[in-house]
Amino acid sequence: MNDRSSRRRTMKDDETFEISIPFDEAPHLDSQIFYSLSP
């Protein structure tokens, strides 16, 4: 996990790509977070 963070900081161009991964990996998880934040 530490290696992944270091790589992301090194590759700025890949930053946008890495950010999109979590949304595709666990969309249901993101939805739960949004619902929790919403009043």
pLDDT, residue 25, reads: 56
Per-residue pLDDT band for 36 (boundaries 50, 70, 90) equals: confident
How many structural domains is the chain composed of? 1
Q: With pLDDT > 90 as the criterion, what percentage of the chain qualifies?
A: 0
Q: What is the residue-averaged pLDDT of the chain? A: 59
Q: What is the pTM of this model?
A: 0.19
Burial-class residue 8 by CB neighbours within 10 Å (0-12, 13-18, 19+).
Answer: middle
User: What confidence tens digit (pLDDT) does each residue in 8-19 have?
Assistant: 555 565 555 555
Residue 10 one-letter amino acid: T
Rounded Cα distance between 11 and 5, Å, is 10
Q: Which residues contact 23 (CB under 8 A, 6 or more apart)?
A: 30
- Residue range 21-37: average pLDDT? 60
Q: Which structural domain, as residue segments, surrounds residue 17?
A: 2-37
